[in-house]
Structure 1
Amino acid sequence: MKTWNELTDTQPRVVPFLMRSLEKDRLSHAYIFAGESGTGKQEIALQLTKSYFCREKQGVEPCHQCVDCNRIEKGNHPDVHLVAPDGASIKKHQVEFLQKEFTYRGMESSYKVYIISEADKMTASAANSLLKFLEEPESPTMALLLTERESSLLPTVRSRSQQLSFSPLSKQLFAEKLQEHGFPRLSSLLVAEITTNLEHASQLNDGDWIAQARSVVIQLMGELYLRPNQVLLTLQDKWLPLCKEKSQQEAGLDMILFWLRDLLYIQTGKTDALVFPDQKEQYEQLALSISQKQISRHLSGVLEAKRHLNANVNYQLVMEKLLLSIQEV
């Protein structure tokens, strides 16, 4: 469980704003937390709720140990209600249940909080019921609406809520977050370069795909420069079978781009920025025989391959042309 100061590292604009609001006792009746998956919306919503209810807090910092904090953490506080999609959407009866619950007096305080995850998935009738609830709550309440697609919320819901935009995590913080979710360190560094969206990262890691692709791209690029007669065979036997989906093909080209960029970083002394840090020794050997001008051309070749892929050119043709062009330069 993190402190407010630790959460500030995750969201350096949103968290200080909420802390000031707590200090001045000026919390809004409704907030929209908008941002990509993995940016800390749920974690900060729970932290805010703990600070709202904790009777043992120091300043704005909840104790994380009292009955209120423990119940909020476990999701069973009687005055805190969590709503998530029932199937593909949040339905009207879920919002109506909230309204009914909030007509009752708080069991342990006069306040109530509700947190709606994926609020953009409310049906039209559910959103209209929520709108009425936002305008005429039955008791002192705070609404926290979490969404990755703020524009999908009703304009009237947005206008009646304080909107807070959650920034994408830095690559370093996102890599650390991935490791907390069980990603191997080397895979997390690579994934954090491709995306800072937790859902997308999980898709890349499905079936250990990212680790396999990482291993093959290292082999492919090593052969490209040291054993060029082998590279098309590796492409056919190992690389193409791994990259069947468009998202995998895009990620694969990104990995090649990062591998080449690492080689350039070795030549310019930026060794602390490597995406493939375990390949440092091989990079140093290759850097002796390849110029920065050649690497820059190879990088341009990858960018051209990405454009061809986006234009729906056959992926095998894209890859073969890329590898042959690198060998020619």
Structure 2
Amino acid sequence: MIRTWELLGETQPIVLKMLKNSLKKDRLAHAYLFEGMKGTGKKEGSILFAKSILCENLMDGYIPCNSCNNCKRIANGNHPDVHLLEPDGLSIKKHQIQSLQEEFSKTGVESKRKIYILAHADKMTTNAANSLLKFLEEPNALTVAMLLTEQIQQILPTILSRCQIISFTPLAPNKMAEQLIANGMKKSDAPKIAQLTNNYEEALLLSSDEWFVQAQKIVVKLYQTLRGNPLDTLIYLQREWFIHFKEKDQYDRGLDLLLLLYKDLLYIQLGKYEQIVHINEKELLETNALKFSNHLLTEKITAIFEAKRKLQSNMNPQLLMEQLVLKLQEGFSVV
């Protein structure tokens, strides 16, 4: 997602400011730790930073040209002085760190500096982490390390103390929606999907996932049946919901979609129409919003959150849904 400094500035302005200052003042740290949730652009940011460090025609002191030999080779993943290290199986092992140390004891092949990017740094074995620590304790002025992690709490404090920590924050839903629409996603889908994930790549996958497309329709139809006879709603669960939603994570996704519907009702009551994500169901929701007191609507939202909690506690999913829909039907005609 993040391939230029301009995009980085839009999604991670604080990260841009910190890295830009390091480059323009020529005060590169020996080691950086990029931390943040999945999908926040840490790996893309590290590649971009590597380009800026090695670019032969740097513009404005920090912007890579993307056309010189170094930029092209980094983009293609075959620059001899830029090494990306990822877990071997489930973890990063000691021999991987030792191989990296041996490589970095050599002179740069095509540039003065050598860069290594350690993806999923939290997955290092204890021996690998200790080996890396020795590497960090004896810094080479021409070596730059970038450690990437989604679990900063799993990194040894002694390693953290030797890194400049750069935090990548989740993309705000409205910004995510704007980017998704700019990349061709339907305006009716983008706001909803942006509420479900902070991961740009996952968002794109969701939009083209047939299971997810069908799940949205089933959730809306379930919501509509809640206005009728409780027996009809339970029958709908048997005929549609239980057939489509089978795994625990699928139930959780369905509850998230249901939650978004009730949040939209609340936004309508509060006059925050710009925050509604079910654009195609706007008229239906506007009509229904008048049938709930604010207190009752809050209770229903709380009931969905409670159902999500029970799901994670391994309550029987079918029993959970049957109890939830009966709770959601209570007081539907109250104004």
TM-score (norm 1): 0.88
Distance in 2 (alpha carbons) for counterparts of 1:102 and 1:308: 51
Give the Å deviation of 1:69: 0.8
Cα distance in structure 1, aligned partners of 2:325 and 2:79 = 58
1:82 paired residue among 81, 84, 104 = 84
**Identity within the alignment, %:** 46
In the other structure, the counterpart of 2:235 is 233
User: Secondary structure of 2:13's partner?
Assistant: coil
Equivalents in 2 of 1:281, 1:109: separation in Å? 61
- What does residue 245 of structure 2 align with? 243
What residue identity is the alignment partner of 1:20? N
When the two structures are aligned, how many residues end up with a matched partner? 329
State the AA in 2 paired with 1:328.
E
Q: Residue 256 of structure 2 corresponds to which residue in structure 1?
A: 254
Deviations 1:65-107 (A, max 9, x none): 1111111111111111111111111122222221122122112
C-alpha distance in 2, partners of 1:260/1:2?
37
Are residues 203 and 119 of structure 1, via their aligned partners in 2, closer, same or farther at CA, if it must alter by over 3 Å?
Answer: farther
Whole-angstrom CA distance in 2 between matches of 1:28 and 1:103: 19
1:138/1:214 CA distance change after superposition, 3 Å: same
Aligned partner of 2:10 in structure 1 is 9
Indicate which of 154, 157, 163 corresponds to 1:155: 157
What amino acid maps onto 1:237 in structure 2?
Answer: R
CA contact (8 A) 1:187 1:211 kept: no
Match of 1:72 among 74, 89, 94: 74
- Corresponding residue SS for 2:92: coil
Could you say what the CA RMSD is over the residues aligned between the two structures, in angstroms? Answer: 2.8
More displaced stretch, 201-210 vs 291-300:
201-210
Residues 327, 286 of structure 1: CA spacing in aligned structure 2 closer, same or farther, 3 A cutoff? Answer: same
Aligned to 2:38: 37
CA apart distance, 1:236: 1.2
Q: Find the aligned partners of 1:103 and 1:274 in 2 and give their Cα distance.
A: 56
Higher helix fraction (1 or 2): 1
Shift of 1:145: 0.5
Alignment of 1:56-71 (within 5 A): 56-59=57-60, 60-71=62-73
Q: State the match for 2:109 in structure 1.
A: 107
Superposition map of 1:86-165 within 5 A: 86-137=88-139, 140-165=142-167
Question: Partner amino acid for 1:162?
Answer: Q
Amino acid at match of 2:10: D
Distance, in Å, in 2 between the alignment partners of 1:269 and 1:138 is 58
**Structure 2: distance between partners of 1:147 and 1:181:** 27
Gaps of 5+ in 2: none
CA pair 125-274 structure 1, distance change in 2 beyond 3 A: same
**Secondary structure, counterpart of 1:225 in structure 2:** coil
- In the alignment, the residues of structure 2 paired with residue 320 and residue 312 of structure 1 have an alpha-carbon distance, to the nearest angstrom, of 15
Structure 1 unaligned residues grouped into runs of 5+: none
Contact 1:37 1:198 in 2 (8 A): no
**1:202-213 map, 5 Å:** 208-213=210-215
Q: Judge conservation of contact 2:3–2:45 (CA < 8 Å) in 1.
A: no
- Which residues in structure 2 correspond to 1:169-318 (within 5 Å)? 169-175=171-177, 186-197=188-199, 208-225=210-227, 230-287=232-289, 289-318=291-320
**Per-residue deviation, 1:175:** 4.2
Asked if structure 2 preserves the Cα contact closer than 8 Å seen for 1:89 and 1:122, the reply is yes
2-side partners of 1:119 and 1:183: how far apart?
Answer: 33
Give the Cα–Cα distance (whole angstroms) in 1 for the partners of residues 151 and 313 of structure 2.
27
Kept in 1: contact 2:30–2:140 (CA 8 A): no
Deviation of 1:32 after TM superposition, in Å, equals: 0.7
**1:192 and 1:30 mapped to 2: Cα distance?**
33
